[in-house]
Structure 1
Amino acid sequence: MTFQPTRAIVTGSDSGIGKATAVALAAAGMDVGVTWHSDEEGARDTAREVEALGRRAVVRRLDTSDIPACGEVIDELAAKLGGLDVFVNNAGTGDNAPFLDLTLDQWRHTVSVDLEGAFVCLQRAARHMVGGDGGRLIAITSVHEHQPRVGSAAYDAAKHGLGGLMKTIALELGREGITVNSVAPGEIATPMTGQEDEDPRATDRPGVPLGRPGDAREIAAVVAFLASPAASYVTGASYAVDGGMLQMGPQAGSHIESDDWRQA
């Protein structure tokens, strides 16, 4: 296991899962490229936490709907870091609407950010790893990479597509020593889910086997493993980090006693 990562980029690392991941990678000995879309101060706060761990942080704004310009941001961050060992595609969005009400603009925005922007950024990151000592490409997808949700047609399609993209990249880049994996979170207590990074252990979720939402740091821990030398033989995989949610399919189905689930 000669791969020793010291340079990482985490997109959407101004809060939530991205922030926790940037800090976890810094704790593992990596300098980190931090990106933000609308919360610059959040990104600066992430950078301060990275620096408090004795690592360097480089902060840039990234709009993954600005294609292909978003790839140039990845190139710039890699140049500032002196190369790239680990790339975590975390930036994403979601427009929730029933399929019949979903507008084409909503569809295009979600697919553009979650799939097309991810493709551009992953490709740029990979080009900095090819010909070197290997690398790690990691995408934060969702449990909805694997199972759909009512009212999330665009999001589900984009995340299914991103999961498929990662598997294909894993096949193509294996000979370069680059591993490619996904992490598929369930409900995580972050601003994106309206929970403002609160302690999830105080929130009751009877339909989740572990009985609660997850903490962003629990996702970051899995990402940090996949970024490490210890994960050198893991590629093409998607890790569901969901408290067991995906295992509840038939069990949940037989216990639902109302039509409330049909509402977006």
Structure 2
Amino acid sequence: MRGEIMSEGYDRVAVVTGADSGIGKATAVALAEQGFDVGITFHADRDGAAETAELVKGSGRAAAVRRHDLTDPERAARVVDDLADELGGLGVLINNAGTGTAEPLLDMDYQRWRSVIAVDLDGAFLCAQRAARRMVESRRGGRIINVTSVHEEFPRVGAGPYCAAKGGLRMLSRVLALELAEYGITVNTVAPGEIATPMTGQEDQLPQTGSRPGYPIARPGDAREVAAALAFLAGPAASYITGATLFIDGGLGLMGPQAAGALTSGDWRHG
């Protein structure tokens, strides 16, 4: 099997973790519109996951739902196989589920640190490993896309374990890209900036133009804008893209030195 060029006929089945709301929900719908059956995972919002499943079915595709508690990442990763078995294959995995903190590192206990790393990095690794093994065995190739954050590159006060996990996930993705390329499996990361979702306290509100004057595009992003990028990387047109990061941040990452020079107080030190 090694050294063979895999075909682009990978299974039209995708698993999207954390698809009960926000980016995951929008991505599940976008993939269904592109002809994928979709496995949906959730942690606590069963109703949100069920709503996502109905939207997928409304596009004429099959949907399956599983609870996915990444605080126990080894157990949680089994749902990748469960969903693939129910839907009849696996061609795309999108690791979207995640959590974060708002606490200085000096105040953080080890268990809190570990809980974020378990969800954001360990869980993504184990899900990717299970998905890749199935894709290799199928001999049809596939796509693995890990949702990171602008904080895979840029640090933030109070978000130590989140930043560490997202930076680690970027490098994990690059190693996987090297190791899986010969099997026709691409691995990339998508790094959103501030997106108007429940995770950022915006409950899927429409982004308001002009509400973020410090951003080059002066608003938060919309979950569907991130979903469009994920759906592109999941599709056949992205077959020559691997080991890459696509920032979807409205140009936020461009503002580091510029914004630092414009600050007039030290309030940023406190998050």
- Are 1:126 and 2:109 an aligned pair? no
Task: Give deviations 1:54-101, integer Å, cap 9, x for gaps.
Answer: 000001101112131112111100111111000000000012211111
* Residues 15, 203 of structure 1: alpha-carbon distance in 2 compared, 3 angstrom cutoff: farther
Aligned to 1:17: 23
Q: Secondary structure at the match of 2:188?
A: strand
Other-structure match for 1:195: 202
CA distance in 2, matches of 1:259, 1:14: 38
Q: Which residue matches 2:36? A: 30
- Counterpart residue number, 1:154: 161
Residues 105-140 of structure 1 deviation map (CA, whole Å, 9 limit, x = unaligned)? 110110010011111111011111004211000000
Q: Residues 73 and 119 of structure 2 are in contact (CA less than 8 Å); yes or no, is this contact kept in structure 1?
A: no
1:81-100 to 2 correspondence within 5 Å? 81-100=87-106
Match of 2:239 among 232, 235, 241: 232
Unaligned stretches of 5+ in structure 1?
none
| Counterparts of 2:124 and 2:80, CA distance in 1 | 11
- Secondary structure at 2:208 match in 1: helix
Aligned twin of 1:107:
113
Q: Is the 8 A contact 1:5 1:228 kept in 2?
A: no
The one of 170, 180, 192 equivalent to 1:185 is: 192
| Alpha-carbon separation, structure 1, partners of 2:73 and 2:41 | 16
66-75 or 185-194, which moves further after superposition?
66-75
Number of the residue aligned with 1:247: 254
Distance between the aligned counterparts of 2:175 and 2:168, measured in 1? Answer: 11
| Equivalence for 1:142 | 149
Which residue type is aligned with residue 54 of structure 2?
R
Deviates further, 93-102 or 141-150: 93-102
Structure 1 203/32 Cα, relative in aligned 2: closer, same or farther at 3 Å? farther
The residue identity in structure 1 corresponding to 2:79 is: V
State, as a whole percentage, how many aligned pairs show the same letter: 58
Q: 1:213 aligns to what?
A: 220
SS at match of 1:63: coil
Q: Number of residue pairs matched?
A: 264
RMSD: 1.1
In 1: Cα distance, 2:8 partner to 2:45 partner: 37
Against the structure 1 CA distance between its residues 243 and 189, is the aligned structure 2 distance closer, same or farther, given a 3 Å change threshold?
Answer: same
SS of equivalent residue, structure 1 residue 201: coil
Deviations 1:152-201 (A, max 9, x none): 11111111111110000000000000000000000000000000000103
Aligned partners of 2:37 and 2:63 also within 8 Å: yes
* 1:225 partner letter: F
Unaligned runs of at least 5 residues, structure 2 = 1-6
Deviation (angstroms), 1:3: 3.4
By how many angstroms is 1:259 displaced?
1.1
Deviation at 1:203, TM superposition (A): 5.8
TM-score by length of structure 1 reads 0.98
| Residue matched to 1:175 | 182
CA deviation after TM superposition for structure 1 residue 4, in Å: 5.4
Deviates more, 1:92-101 or 1:81-90: 92-101
SS in 1 for 2:105: coil
Q: TM-score, normalised by structure 2?
A: 0.95
Aligned 1:49-68 pairs, distance under 5 A: 49-68=55-74
Find runs of 4+ consecutive structure 1 residues off by over 3 angstroms. 1-5
Letter in 2 for 1:64: L
- 1:33 is paired with a residue whose SS is strand
2:85 to 63, 76, 79: 79
The residue type equivalent to 2:135 in the other structure is M
